[in-house]
Amino acid sequence: MTTQTAIDNFVNRCRTLGLSVTPQRLAIFKALIDDHSHPRPEDIYKKIKAEHPTISLATIYKTLETFEKHGIVSVVTHLHNTVRYDPITEPHHHVVCVKCNKIIDVIDPSLNTIKVPEHILQGNELLGYSIHFNVICSECRLKETN
Amino acid sequence: MTTQTAIDNFVNRCRTLGLSVTPQRLAIFKALIDDHSHPRPEDIYKKIKAEHPTISLATIYKTLETFEKHGIVSVVTHLHNTVRYDPITEPHHHVVCVKCNKIIDVIDPSLNTIKVPEHILQGNELLGYSIHFNVICSECRLKETN
DNA sequence: TTATTAATTAATAATTGTTATCCAATAATA
DNA sequence: TATTATTGGATAACAATTATTAATTAATAA
Ligand SMILES: [Mn+2]
Ligand SMILES: [Mn+2]
Ligand SMILES: [Zn+2]
Ligand SMILES: [Zn+2]
């Protein structure tokens, strides 16, 4: 998909969702669409400031949250707000509730035999891998306003 | 392994590493060893304050970092310091450098066919899963002081 | 044991990342 | 056009983390 097509899709998507396509939103989307560095809000802010000198960081945060809510962009992990410590040091996996950030262990040896793509091992030292099963947990499902 | 055995191992481990076994360190370790909630430093602080009213939150942070450095405890993700946005909304995976927090996409359909353990689906709504390949990247390996 | 040095802790300040508030500006709708 | 809803900007507030520094404690060598 070309960048222009992606932008057109974005515009249509916003209209369908009832979100107005403001210059700020367009700028933020454009800043992200071809950026594969998984930038922080701050990074996007810096990229945009030249064209939009008056935009505030809070707008970037709010806009990205709106985008994420509607599936226009995604976040790499929902566990980005605070460190979470684990007494288990052996490789294992986790169920993560994206609403309440509850974390449950998944200890299942069959998940430790994944075929690691070769290119990951080129130059990097692999320490291990861990699977995040992203869920809305039963408690949070009950709380949801349907 | 019993809790007492774990504590004994911890004490021996510290001695081997040349870390002194202080009451604070012991208390922090004990607070974590049987806690499977993947607590935040703040949670551990609250648990400990009754017995150790003078301990400071900064000590908790530093001690946990020391423990993690020596493999006594682990962190659920190293990407806990800030949100990272992604223009890709399709399921995919990531290489994460635990030193510099660089994130590289891993798009490999063969990794999207993992057998999800049944119990994860009980009550929870599964949104998807994503694998974090934790590495020390080539750049960071060069920087390391060996 | 005591003196010396190194390591650890506590208190606190500073910084960073994020969210809330409030008002003005803009856009959508009647 | 008038009305209402949405959005954005400025700023303050808050939460998480890190840095600084001095006091305390522990380790080690006379
Ligand atoms: Mn765990
Ligand atoms: Mn990605
Ligand atoms: Zn939940
Ligand atoms: Zn790196």
* DSSP 8-state secondary structure symbol assigned to residue A74: E
Q: Which residues pair with A74 in a beta bridge?
A: B86
Higher pLDDT, B20 or B137: B137
Q: How confident is the model at residue B143 (pLDDT cuts 50, 70, 90)?
A: confident
What mean pLDDT, rounded, does chain A reach?
A: 93
Token digits for B9? Answer: 């191992």
**A 45-74 residues, CB < 7 A, strand D:** 52, 54-59, 62-63
Q: With a 7 Å cutoff on the CB, does B45 touch strand C?
A: no
Q: With a 7 Å cutoff on the CB, does A57 touch strand C?
A: yes
User: Ligand 2 mean position to B83 CA, how many Å?
Assistant: 13
Q: Is the pLDDT of residue B145 over 60?
A: no
Nearest-CA distance A54 → chain B (Å): 22
Q: Indicate the domain borders of chain A.
A: 3-86, 93-145
Give percent of chain A with pLDDT exceeding 90. 79
Q: pLDDT value at position A143?
A: 83
Q: How confident is the model at residue B59 (pLDDT cuts 50, 70, 90)?
A: very high
Q: pLDDT value at position A106?
A: 98
Lookup: nucleotide whose C1' is closest to A22 CA: D7
Return d(Cα B59, Cα A135) in angstroms, integer: 33
* Pair A103, A96: CB distance under 8 Å: yes
* DSSP 8-state secondary structure symbol assigned to residue A73: S
Q: With a 7 Å cutoff on the CB, does B24 touch strand C?
A: yes
Q: pLDDT value at position B146?
A: 47
Which of chain D's bases lie under 7 Å from a protein CB? 6-12, 15-20, 25-27
Return d(Cα A89, Cα B73) in angstroms, integer: 6
CATH number of B93-145: 3.30.1490.190
User: SS in 3 state form for chain B?
Assistant: CCHHHHHHHHHHHHHHHCCCCCHHHHHHHHHHHCCCCCCCHHHHHHHHHCCCCCCCHHHHHHHHHHHHHCCCCEECCCCCCCCCEECCCCCCEEEEECCCCCEEEECCHHHHCCCCCHHHHCCCEEEEEEEEEEEECHHHHHHCCC
> Do the strands B125-136 and B93-97 form a parallel or antiparallel pair, or are they unpaired?
parallel
CATH number of B3-86: 1.10.10.10
* DSSP 8-state secondary structure symbol assigned to residue A84: -
Burial of residue A146 (number of CB atoms within 10 Å: 0-12, 13-18, 19+): exposed
Q: With a 7 Å cutoff on the CB, does A69 touch strand C?
A: no
> Which residues, at least 6 apart from A8, have a Cβ–Cβ distance to it below 8 Å?
none
Model confidence over B79-135: pLDDT tens digits?
A: 999 999 999 999 999 999 999 999 999 999 999 999 999 999 999 999 999 999 999
Q: Is the pLDDT of residue B18 over 90?
A: no
Lookup: nucleotide whose C1' is closest to B81 CA: C17
Whole-number distance in Å between A16 CA and D9 C1': 26
**Which of A37, A85, A132 is closest, CB to CB, to B75?**
A85
Higher pLDDT, A20 or A89: A89
Interface A-B, measured as beta-carbon pairs within 8 A, has a size of 203
Q: How confident is the model at residue B67 (pLDDT cuts 50, 70, 90)?
A: very high
Q: How confident is the model at residue A146 (pLDDT cuts 50, 70, 90)?
A: very low
Indicate the helix (H) or strand (E) that contains A45.
helix A41-49
Average pLDDT over residues A26-43: 94
Q: Is the pLDDT of residue A145 over 60?
A: no
Distance set, CA A48 to CA A31, A45, B44, B86, B131 (Å): 7, 5, 40, 17, 31
User: Ligand 1 mean position to A101 CA, how many Å?
Assistant: 13
* DSSP 8-state secondary structure symbol assigned to residue A110: G
Interhelix angle A23-33/A57-69, nearest 10 degrees? 70
User: Ligand 1 mean position to B37 CA, how many Å?
Assistant: 8
Whole-number distance in Å between A70 CA and C27 C1': 20
CA B41-B44-B50 angle, 5° bins: 140
Beta strands in chain A (DSSP E): 74-75, 85-86, 93-97, 103-106, 125-136
Q: Is the pLDDT of residue B74 over 90?
A: yes
